[in-house]
Amino acid sequence: MPNGAEQNRIVRAAALTAGDGSKLQAILDSMYFHELPNFELAAVIAPERDAYAMSRAINAGVPSFVVDPELFPNMTSHSMAVANKLRDMDVELVILAGYDCPLGVIPYQFKNRIIGTWPSIYPAFEDVEGDIHRAVLERGVKITGATAYFADGDGRVGGIILQKAVEVLPGDDPESLRRRVTEEAEWKLLSRAVALYCSGKLSIRGKRVVIEE
């Protein structure tokens, strides 16, 4: 059986976002162009009200909520508040759209229902702390890319859904490489992975994600 939604059933999703919200915009654009079948973006949740991501959501008419980590004694209680908000809104699918807070308990309550992207062809550079794109350039890698995945119980990369390669160019610096990986790979993979889930085309077999085309 596909792990994603059955066909013709609307999937209620929420995007967890922060910062400039460029990944959120990729989802909003895919909605505008009708590239996400059986999909409803029920909410956008961010840790701060003045994040530009919230302006993107408001301009698109998507209900937006702030769950401020400074109002909680620790990140575990903050993640519980986010999880409670998701459940209260009857959310099925969680999209990581640039969210920068620890997921805490959320992956345990939304197993195989959290989709995000990683800025390399995972597991390459999985242990890098800091700027992955700088590490790619320092290592002299010729091909990098991105990975769309289901979050595991620790909120890290679990089952791999899709991957896309991006060539490292001779004149690249960390910022130019980051921009190209984001625009050419992460945005596209995130929307495509969500579309596959909503079409009921993803199934989990052991640790592998299988696409039922």
**In CATH, which of 3.40.50.300, 3.40.50.2300, 3.40.50.170, 3.40.50.10490 is domain 11-117+147-162+181-205?**
3.40.50.170
For residues 137, 140, 144, 149, the Cα torsion angle rounded to the nearest 10 degrees is: -80
- Mean pLDDT within 127-142: 95
* Global pTM value: 0.94
Question: Domain ranges in the chain?
Answer: 11-117+147-162+181-205
The 10s digit of each residue's pLDDT in 183-204 is: 999 999 999 999 999 999 999 9
Helices (H), the chain: 22-32, 52-59, 75-88, 106-109, 132-139, 174-181, 187-198
What contacts 30, CB < 8 A, 6 or more positions away?
36, 191, 194, 195
pLDDT at 7: 55
